Amino acid sequence: MNKDVVYIEPEDDITDIIARVKNAKQKLVALVPPKKIGVLRSAVNTKLIAKAGRAAGKVVVIVTVDPALVKLAAAAQIPVAKNLQSRPKLPSEIIEKTDEPGEQVINEKDFPDDEVESGAKTAGVANATNGVNANNNAKVTNSQNKPSKKADQSFSSDDLEKDNKADKGKKGDKSEKGKIPTLEKYRKWIIAGGVAFVLLVGFLVWAFVFAPAVDIAVIIRTTTNNFSENVSFVTKAGTEHPENGVFLLEQKKVEKSSTVEFSATGQKDIGDKATGTILVGAYLDADKEGAPLRIIDGAQFTYGNLSYTVTAGASVSYPEKDSDCENANSGKVSREGCLRTAKVTVQANQSGTDSNIGVHDSGWSTNVDTSMTKSYSIYNPNAFTGGTTNIVTVVSQSDFDNAKAKLENAGREDGKAELLKEFGDDMAVIESSLEISTSDPKSVPAVGEQVQSGVTPKVEATTTYNMFAVDKTKISDYVKSKSESSLAQDQKIYKVDEPFFENFTKSDDNYTAKLKSSTQTGPKVTEDDIMEKSKGKKIGEVQSLLKSINGVSSVNIKKSFPWVGTVPDNPNKITIELKVEE
């Protein structure tokens, strides 16, 4: 009887092999594996081959001397042959048991070229014809490995059947002489084998029926289109119209108590202030005797760049009789007015020895109202004394102003970050709407006060950060709606980028800004198209089909398990994701 020789290629999978066994024209099928046995290095696969062969009425023989493959063939009850010219035998007869239980050794001498092992059983040969799915189009491409016609006929299924009959006769004779075998000692092995078989069947059903699933990620090649529109905002709910570019503002506030330390640069003389007496000689007008000259406490006198404050004032008025005028004996009363002298005590406004001045009968000025006099004179009859110098560091106004600006700037980013957390990811924040207000900042020490040794001045205040945001989904829908009107029918918007706003302004209760964003546009590819092109097809074929779609940059298919080679027919087992090319 002739036989079909099936050369297994390294890239063949178990389904390819099973299909070629089923499609063999001859009853006897010889499987010739590659050097690296690959797909056959699995007890499940060899048993599937045996099952497929048996179902197709084929006698499967594996041509190999690989010890591992021989063991697997033994487990599946598939005959093996050393080469295509050797006659096959059951591998269970080749394996020799060593002294260690369970350890086996396979010798190539057990593969004779010209004889069949007499112990091969017809039932074992039948079991070796097992197999599963395969590729009907698989062909043998390596012509150098093809055997000659004579070699193909070196062994046949008829030879196996004859040897099996002979072997049955020999064993039957021996059994008649021995005792009747009992299955009691094999009970545990039989039960364990049955459980293992059930588990194996359950695993195979799960692995090939329920487990297969794929995730298909299709990367779309897109182009970027800029978007820019003027929009407006309202703060009262129910008055917004997102479809017309009128959006509702949501406001958030964050208050932060903050402190900024600074270095004081001001200087101040805190020494004693000079004191002295000033005389004001006023020539009073008789017609204005109802308006006396009054020099009150706090009045100011100035000599050069030095200023003095009245601490003990005085007041003079026109007397009832001319004889009470200080110039009564000069005969000038009626012509120049009545001379009256006011004596006041003053203190320098600034500390320091510079305020200690000598006697001066001219050069003085004052803010005292002298409109009721015909003329007046100011002089100090005695030198001013008591002024001392003691320069210390104080907080200047510029120190305070600079520290306050730092206080606002230092918390700007922190305040913005807290506001962003308050709004969440669903809101589009209008960063240009950020307002910062600092309430009643205080300097410690106060402006003008001395900074004691070891003390670092600081500004303390409560700063309020205020910002607006709008619903990001409504903004995205608006951008998409506006952009789609200019798209071709075969184009689609896949993504609307993050929006941002410029020139946010307020006029009365109305707010306006310029909305800017961009869209990612590409050819129209739907998930339904991808699903129809993928169901029930091999993964490699699906990748080729999807890549051929206009606008598809790449396709990534993730299998649920390594053995999954085909996309399931069940849509629930297929996950499709459309991504935009970065």
Examine the domain organization and report whether 171 and 214 are in the same domain: no
> pTM here?
0.43
Which residues 6+ apart lie within 8 Å of 206 measured at CB? Answer: none
The three-state DSSP-derived secondary structure of 211-280 is CCCEEEEEEECCEEEEEEEEEEEECCCCCCEHHHCEEECEEEEEEEEEEEECCCCEEEECCCCCEEEEEE
Q: Are 259 and 464 in contact (CB under 8 A)?
A: no
Same domain, 341 and 380: yes
Determine the pLDDT at residue 149. Answer: 37
My answer on whether 357 and 295 are in the same domain is yes
- Contact yes or no for 438/462 (Cβ under 8 A): yes
Final residue of a domain: which of 336, 368, 389?
389
Buried-exposed string 553-572: b where 16+ CB fall within 10 A, e elsewhere: eebebebeeeebebbbeeee
Is 173 in a helix, a strand, or coil?
helix
290 lies in the same domain as 216: no
Token digits for 144?
């150098």
Is 17 part of any domain?
A: yes
User: Which portions of the chain are predicted below pLDDT 70?
Assistant: 1, 37, 92-185, 289-290, 330-335, 411
Q: Which residues contact 459 (CB under 8 A, 6 or more apart)?
A: 259, 260, 262, 400, 403, 404, 406, 407, 441, 442, 443, 444
Task: Based on the fold, state whether residues 216 and 77 are members of the same structural domain.
Answer: no
Asked if residues 52 and 132 have their Cβ atoms less than 8 Å apart, the reply is: yes
Number of H helices, E strands in the chain: 13, 27
- The answer to whether residue 140 is domain-embedded is yes
- Residues 216 and 158 placed together within one structural domain of the fold: no
3-state secondary structure of 400: helix
Q: How far apart are CA 549 and CA 547, in angstroms?
A: 5
Q: Where are the alpha helices (DSSP H) in 23-97?
A: 43-56, 67-76
* Same structural domain, 172 and 216: no
On whether the CB atoms of residues 225 and 518 are closer than 8 A, the answer is yes
Task: Determine the pLDDT at residue 363.
Answer: 94
**Residue after which a domain boundary falls, among 340, 356, 389:** 389
Structure tokens at 316: 């003079």
One-letter amino acid of 457:
P
How many residues comprise the chain? 582
| Residue 376 shares a structural domain with residue 317 | yes
Among residues 442, 425, 422, the alpha carbon closest in space to that of 434 is found at 422
- For CA atoms 321, 322, 323, 325, the dihedral sign is positive
DSSP symbol at 207? I
Please report whether residue 464 resides in a domain.
no
Whole-number pLDDT of residue 394: 93
Residue ending a domain, choose from 389, 415, 432:
389
Hey, which bits of 270-395 come out as E strands?
275-284, 293-295, 300-303, 306-312, 314-316, 338-348, 364-366, 373-379, 391-394
- C-alpha 109, offset from chain centre: 66
Residue pLDDT, tens place only, 108-130:
444 443 333 333 333 333 333 33
Residue 76's nearest CA partner among 9, 21, 11, 158 is 21
Residue 415, in any domain of the structure? no
**Domain-located, residue 233:** no
pLDDT at 14: 87
- Residue 298 is assigned to a structural domain of this protein: yes
Per the structure, the count of domains in the chain is 3
Q: Let me know whether 158 and 288 are in one domain.
A: no
In terms of DSSP bridges, do strands 510-523 and 59-63 run parallel, antiparallel, or are they unpaired?
unpaired
Rounded CA gap, 445 and 136, in Å?
Answer: 94
Same-domain status, 66 and 136: yes
| Beta bridge mates, 296 | none
Cβ pair 377, 366 in contact under 8 A: no
Query: C-alpha angle with apex 117: 62 to 92, nearest 5 degrees?
Result: 60
Q: With respect to residue 405, please indicate whether it lies within any of the assigned structural domains.
A: no
Q: Which domain holds residue 138?
A: 3-181
Q: Using CA atoms, how far apart are residues 476 and 83, in angstroms rounded to an integer?
A: 71
Identify whether residues 215 and 302 lie together within a single domain. no
Tell me: do 19 and 155 sit in the same domain.
yes
What pLDDT is stored for residue 333 in this prediction? 66
Q: Can you name the residues that pair with 247 across neighbouring β-strands?
A: 233
The reply to whether 288 falls in a domain is yes
